[in-house]
Amino acid sequence: MMVRIDRNRMFVLGNGASIGAKRYPAPDKLHKIIPTGDNFFRDLLVQGKNKRRSDFLHLLPFIHELLNDLIIRAWRIDPETQHFKETWAGINIEEVFSFFDVGEQMYSSNSYYRKIFHRAKNDLIKFIYLIILMRTEGQRCLFLEKLFSKIEPDDTIITFNWDALIDVTLEHLNNSHFKKYVSLFGDNFKASDYYAHGAFLKLHGSVNWGYCSNNKCKTYNKIQLLGGKGTKPLKNFSLGDSDKCTNCSNKLIHNIIPPTSNKIRVQKDSFIHKQWLIARQRLRYSETIIFIGYSFPKTDFYSEWLFRQINFLVDNDKQFIKKKIIIVNPEMEDKKSYVYQQYHKLFKSHDIEYYRDLESFVAIY
């Protein structure tokens, strides 16, 4: 049985879409796991055996010692326990970000404590950037390739993921969505130019985005797409390409946005802000919204604000517009789960369907 989906669709992808991806080229064993938001650190502990101890090697203290020490203290983790791996279970990446966010705001700009929290937050961004890129560089998703091979020009794709699996998949298909995505990185694009047609939007930034911090550079503070233009395709972007500005060779700042309520980079008329405005406008034209692996993180009030906007949409007769909501997420099978409750709370009075996972959804799509 095929899934009947109306035209003018919006696809919304979360962490579950990447975790459930069929990646190509297939990753090696060491880089196979894409960590979840709920267990980001614990998931990394399965990388390999540590000769010194009987459980698993933990990367974080070897890369960012201060960050590791702060998390251990705040979450009361015992590094000497025989069950070290299990002590990291349930440490949510959103909660860690929020902890450093609040800590940074509590103290004056020149204080020692503010500097510590600020450094920890930046180190966490760098660590996530390294892990996500290391596990997904040069890969596309074969499930999404099949899904988006049937995409219409007026459909919209939104992702809250930092990886570039969708980017490379769309680049491989060479469709209009990828071309319009690249055009976003032109000089001062206008959000209104993208309201009338489908788009591909990354609302939490990306591992292959960066901005120059050199205030003497003509690209200062402007988001750069690393790859995807000229002779270097996105699929060939790697860790070695992520360091320098294309204009002045200054070290680039990573542009990924934490899933917290304080989205400091979503400022009026900024690159990210314009994409949120486009997403809001595209909701007006989307008859069907398909959520794939997205769970509405508790601290991300921006995404909840965005999708509550459908309740303000009315037709020419000022009548409420009912949307079709399709959810691809195994947690929807449990009516007591946060995900099930959240979707039914947000989309009350709309038509809701759900499917277990991306593979099964694509098979009948």
Encode pLDDT of 7-51 as tens digits. 689 999 999 999 999 999 999 877 888 998 888 988 888 665 544
Q: How many domains does the chain have?
A: 3
Percentage of residues in the chain with pLDDT exceeding 70?
87
pLDDT of 173: 95
| Residues 122 and 154 reside in one and the same domain | no
| Residues 287 and 164 reside in one and the same domain | yes
Mean pLDDT for 290-308 is 90
Which domain does 217 fall in, by range?
Answer: 207-256
pLDDT of 79: 77
User: Per the domain annotation, does 273 fall within a domain?
Assistant: yes
- H, E, C per residue of the chain: CCCCCCCCEEEEECHHHHHCCCEECCCCHHHCCCCCCCCHHHHHCCCCECCCCCCECCCHHHHCHHHHHHHHHHCCCCCCCCCHHHHCCCCCHHHHHHHHHHHHHCCCCCCHHHHHHHHHHHHHHHHHHHHHHHHHCCCEEHHHHHHHCCCCCCCEEEECCCCCHHHHHHHHHCCHHHHHHHHCCCCCCCHHHHCCCCCEEECCEEEEEEEECCCCCCCECCEEECCCECCECHHHCCHHHCCECCCCCCEEEEEECCCCCCCCCCCCCCHHHHHHHHHHHHHHHCCEEEEECCCCCCCCHHHHHHHHHHHHCECCCCCECCCEEEEECHHHHCCCCHHHHHHHHHCCCCEEEEECCHHHHHHCC
Could you tell me the pLDDT band of residue 231, with boundaries at 50, 70 and 90? very low
Considering the entire predicted model, what is its pTM? Answer: 0.90
Mean pLDDT for 56-79 is 86
Q: Round the average pLDDT of the chain to a whole number and report it.
A: 86
Higher pLDDT among residues 56 and 284, named by residue = 284
Encode pLDDT of 264-292 as tens digits. 556 777 888 999 999 999 998 899 999 99
| Residues 216 and 342 reside in one and the same domain | no
| Residues 286 and 315 reside in one and the same domain | yes
| Residues 57 and 125 reside in one and the same domain | yes
Mean pLDDT for 191-195 is 91
